[in-house]
A and B are shown apart, each in its own frame.
Chain A
Amino acid sequence: MAITTATRASERRFTLGRRARRLIADGLTYAILVLGLLVVLVPLYWMVATSLKTSTALFLIPPQIVPQPIRWHNYVEVWRLVPLAQYFANSIFVTALAMGGEILTCALVGYGFARYQFPGRDLLFAIMLGTMMLPGVITMIPSFIIWARWLGRYDTFSPMTVGALFAWGPAYIFLLRQFFLTIPRDIEEAAIIDGANVVQLFFRVMLPLVKPALLAIAVLSFSGNWNNFLSPLIYLSTPDKFTLPLGLYQFNSALAGGGEAPKWNYMMAMTVLMALPVVLLYFRAQRYFIEGLTVGAVKA
C-alpha cells in the first residue's frame, strides 16, 4: 500500500515535470513564431504606411509609425504621375493570354505523358524534367534573335504571350501528370464505351477531374506572369507598352538618375497597387498556391 502511493506520487511528479516542460516548449514556440511574424509583417506594414505619408513626413527622425496625416491622395496622384492605368491594362492582357495558353497546353502534354504509351515516352519525360535545370540565359539571346530579327516582333507583346502556347513551365506539366495518374482508368473506359473521342474525353471528363491541379497552376502562373520582369525588359521599348514591373523600374530609375529626392510615398503606393492583385488572390486561393508548390517536392 505504502509502496504504491509512493510510486503514484513519483509518477505524478514525473508527469507534472513533463507537462511543465511541454508548456515551456510551447511558450517558446509561439514566442519565436510571433517574432518571425513581426519580421515578415513589419516591412509590409512599412510599405503601406509609407504609401500614405506626405513627402515631408518621409524622412522624419524618429520615423512616424502611423502616418500623420494619412494622405490617401497619394493613391490618386500616382495614376497621374505615371500611366498606371495603361500599365495595368498591359499587364492584365499579357498575363491573361500567357496564363490561358500555359494552362491549356500544359494540361494536354501532362495528359499525354500520364495516359498514353508511346515509344520514347520515358526518355522524353526525363528530358522535360531536365529542362527545369536549364538557366534561361542560355536561350535568351537566340530567342531574342528569333522574335526580334526573324519574326519582327520587337516591341510587341507576342514574345511574352505566344511562347506560352508551347507548354512552357515543365514544373506545371509534371504536376498535372502526377494528378492525371491518380485518376482511376475505369472512368475513362466508361466514357470510351459511351462513345467519347479523345477531345471529349479530355475536355469533358479529365479536365474537370483535375480541377484542383488546374487551379494550383492558375494561381502560380498568374503570379509568375504578373511578376515577369526580364522579358518585358528585353522586348519592350515604347513606354506605353510597359507592364507594371517595367513601369515601376522606369519610375525607380528616373528618380535615381534625375537627382531628385526619391518620392518613396508614391513609389510605395505603386508597389502596393502592383502587389495587391496577387496578395488578394493568395488569400482567396492559398490552398492551391501551397498545393502547387509541394506536389513536386514531397509527393514525387
Chain B
Amino acid sequence: MVQWYARTLIDYLIAAGGILLVMVLVYYGLTRLGLRREAATGYALIMPWLLGLVIWTAYPIGASLYYSFTDFNGLQPPHWVGLSNYQRLLAPNSYFWPSLRMTLLYGALSLPIGLALSLAVAMLLARDVRGIGFWRTMFYIPAVIPTVATIILWIWLLSTDGLVNQVLSPFYRLVGMQRPSWFTDPRYALPGLIIMSLWGVFGANTVILLAGLKNIPHHLYEAVEIDGGGAWAKFRYVTLPMVSPTLFYTLVLGVIAAVKTFEPGVFIRLPRATGTFLQVLVYQYAFGTRALMGLASALSWIMLIIIALLTLLVFRTSALWVYYEGERRR
C-alpha cells in the first residue's frame, strides 16, 4: 500500500520538476534569443498549461481522430479501416440511435425544465427575502452532494417500494395504475432520470442566476412602474433581457453537460430499449471486454460534432434573445 503512494509521489515530483525545468529553460532561452524579459516571463508562467495543451489535449485530439478510422484494441497497432467505424455506428439497427435519442431527449427535457425552475427560485430569492443567506445555502446543497451519492440515493427513492412511489400511491390508486419501477421500466426510465437531474442540478444554476438578477439596477423596475406596467411587464421587459446573458451562459454549459452525462448510465442498468447515454456507450465500447477503441473514438467524434452543432445553434439564436447592456451603449 505504501509503495503505491510512494510510486505516485515520485511520478508527481518528477513531473513537477520537469515542468519547472521547462519554465526556467523557456525563460532563459527566450531572453537569450533577445525577447523582452516581460514576454519571456509570461511564456514561462503559462508553460504548465501550454505543455498540458500539447500533451493532454492537442495530441489526444489528433490521435483520437486517427483512431476513429482504425480498428484498434489498445494493444496491437491501429489498423486503418477508413469510414467503417462511422458506418457501423450510423447503421440503421445500431445501438447508437436509441442512445442518441435518449441523450438528446434527456437534454431537451431536463435542461429547459431545470433552467425554468432555477430561474423561478432565483427570482423568488431576489425579492429581498428575509434570511437570503439561509435560503441560498439550503437550495445549493444538492449541488454539493457527490454525483455518485445522488444517484444511489435516487435509485433507492425511485425503486418500486421507494419513497416516491409511497408518496404517490394515493395518486396511483386514483388513476388506477401500478407502482412503476422507474429505472427498469422503459416507459419511466427517462422521467426518472429527469426527476433525478432536476433535484441535483438546479442548485448551481439558481446561485448563478441569482447573482445575475442581483446585478439588475433597480431604477429599471421603477421606470416600468412609472409607465404603469405590472409584474408581467417587469419580467418581460426588464428581468428577462437583463438576465439573458447569464441564462445564455448556463444554457451553453447545460447543453455540454447534458451530452456528457455519464454516471447515471453506468450506475443504473437502463432497459436496452431505452438506449443509454452516449458517453456511457463510448466507455462500454472502449473499456468493455472487446476493447473497440476505434469504434469508441468514432463515437466520441460524433459526440463532439453534436455538441458543436448544438452550441452553434444556441450561439446563433442567441442574437435573437440575449441582450447585452454594454453593446447598445457602444
Contacts and interface: CB of A to CB of B under 8 A. Distances in A.
A142 interface: yes
Contacts of A290: 136, 140, 207, 211
A143 B61 contact: no
A134 B163 CA distance: 38
B141 interface: yes
Nearest to A197: B41
Main secondary structure, interface of A, reads helix
Interface of B: 1, 4-5, 7-9, 11-12, 15-16, 19, 38-46, 48-53, 55-57, 59-61, 63-64, 67, 74-75, 121, 124-125, 127, 129, 135-142, 144-149, 152-157, 159, 161, 163, 166, 199, 203-204, 207-208, 211-212, 215, 246, 249-250, 252, 256, 259-260, 262-263, 266-267, 269, 279, 282-283, 286-287, 293, 296-297, 300-301, 303-304, 307, 311
A61 B161 contact: yes
A117 B48 contact: no
A230 B246 contact: no
Contacts of B287: 234
B302 to A, nearest CB: 10
Contacts of B57: 131, 134, 139
A159 B4 CA distance: 13
A50 B153 CA distance: 10
A20 to B, nearest CB: 15
B303 A293 contact: no
Contacts of A15: none
A33 to B, nearest CB: 6
Contact of B16 (A25, A36, A101, A229): A101
Interface residues of A, number: 104
Contacts of A44: 141-142, 145
Given A140-B286, A141-B67, A252 B207 contact: no
Contact of A142 (B63, B166, B259): B63
Contact of B199 (A39, A108, A300): A39
Interface in A99-142: 101, 105, 108-109, 111-113, 115-119, 121, 124, 127-128, 131, 133-142
A256 B269 contact: yes
A227 B256 contact: no
A249 interface: yes
Contacts of B166: 61-63
A275 interface: yes
A156 interface: yes
Given A165-B12, A294-B211, 6 more contacts: A37-B139, A86-B1, A105-B49, A156-B11, A268-B156, A275-B149
Interface of A: 25-26, 29-30, 32-33, 36-37, 39-44, 46-47, 50, 59, 61-63, 86, 93, 97, 101, 105, 108-109, 111-113, 115-119, 121, 124, 127-128, 131, 133-146, 148-149, 153, 156-158, 161-163, 165-168, 173, 198, 223, 226-227, 229-230, 233-234, 240-241, 245, 248-249, 252, 256, 262, 264, 267-268, 271, 274-275, 278-279, 282-283, 286, 289-290, 293-294, 296-298, 300
A266 to B, nearest CB: 11
Given A33-B129, A36-B139, A44-B141, A138 B64 contact: yes
Given A40-B138, A135-B259, A138-B64, A46 B148 contact: no
B212 A47 contact: no
B153 A268 contact: yes
Contacts of A198: 41
Nearest to B16: A165
A279 B41 contact: no
Contacts of A146: 55, 60
Nearest to B44: A112
B48 A105 contact: yes
Contacts of B207: 290, 293-294
Contact of B145 (A97, A262, A275): A275
Given A29-B127, A47-B153, A133-B311, A275 B49 contact: no
A289 B50 contact: no
B135 A33 contact: yes
Contacts of A245: 146-148
Nearest to B198: A39
19 contacts: A25-B127, A33-B125, A62-B166, A113-B46, A119-B39, A133-B307, A138-B61, A141-B297, A143-B60, A145-B63, A156-B11, A166-B19, A166-B55, A198-B41, A240-B1, A256-B269, A267-B156, A274-B148, A298-B246
Contact of A139 (B42, B49, B64, B307): B64
